[in-house]
């Protein structure tokens, strides 16, 4: 429950950061991870003077936290076993990647302030609140957009990242999430085409 609370706080903080409340928003967006610990003493950077890999880690961590939150919601509210299985896969994979990125962030950039990421399009960070649309349809729509944001960020990282580990993570994200987008699109057509 604490993890869900921290994710929700992080998403709200991210939205506030976009509205100009960078310092209070970005640090809170990272919860208790090492990025926040390094960022609180030095303020929050827009990322321009921070190494690209630090920006990528910060942005992708928040992005993954959004996917995990949506997937956890799907475990509770979806009526389709296919969606629940996908949600479990997203949670397992992206939590591991969050842990790996936190380790790299601490090892490589212990003194770099928390950033707001690379500034790319993040995609949807939550489901539509329009309950006239079936939950699974809202989940599919949001997750396709969310995954496309991660894919775009990962493709950029393949050309801009300094560390081979980041480039490999980016490739893993592209491979996994392009496959998931294809599956989601197939379900969207099969279940909700009008």
**What whole-number distance in Å separates Cα of residue 157 and Cα of residue 151?**
10
Q: Would you tell me which CATH number, out of the four given (1.20.1240.10, 1.25.60.10, 3.30.870.10, 1.20.1260.10), belongs to the domain 32-192? A: 1.20.1260.10
In order along the chain (194 residues), what is the average pLDDT of each group of 10 residues?
41 37 35 37 53 97 96 96 98 97 97 90 86 96 95 96 97 97 97 85
For residue 186, the tally of other CB atoms under 10 A from its CB is 11
**What whole-number distance in Å separates Cα of residue 82 and Cα of residue 53?**
34
Domain edges within the chain? 32-192
- pLDDT value of residue 119: 83
**What whole-number distance in Å separates Cα of residue 73 and Cα of residue 94?**
15
- pLDDT value of residue 121: 77
CA 129 and chain centroid, separation: 19
* Beta bridge partners of residue 45, listed in sequence order: 115
pTM of the full structure: 0.75
CA 193 and chain centroid, separation: 28
DSSP characters for 111-173? TSPPB--S-------S----TTS-HHHHHHHHHHHHHHHHHHHHHHHHHH-SSHHHHHHHHHH
């Amino acid at each position: 429950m604490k993890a869900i609370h921290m994710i929700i706080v992080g998403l709200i903080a991210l939205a506030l950061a976009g509205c100009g409340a960078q310092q209070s928003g970005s640090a809170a967006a990272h919860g208790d991870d090492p990025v926040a610990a390094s960022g609180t003493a030095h303020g929050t950077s827009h990322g321009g003077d921070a190494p690209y890999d630090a920006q990528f880690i910060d942005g992708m961590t928040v992005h993954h936290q959004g996917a995990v939150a949506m997937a956890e919601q799907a475990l509770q509210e979806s009526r389709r076993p296919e969606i629940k299985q996908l949600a479990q896969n997203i949670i397992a994979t992206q939590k591991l990647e969050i842990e790996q990125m936190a380790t790299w962030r601490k090892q490589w950039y212990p003194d770099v302030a928390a950033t707001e990421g690379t500034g790319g399009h993040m995609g949807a960070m939550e489901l539509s609140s329009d309950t006239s649309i079936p939950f699974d349809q809202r989940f599919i729509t949001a997750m396709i957009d969310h995954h496309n944001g991660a894919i775009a960020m990962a493709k950029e990282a393949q050309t801009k990242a300094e560390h081979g580990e980041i480039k490999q993570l980016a490739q893993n994200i592209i491979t996994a999430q392009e496959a998931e987008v294809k599956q989601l699109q197939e379900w969207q057509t099969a279940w909700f085409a009008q």
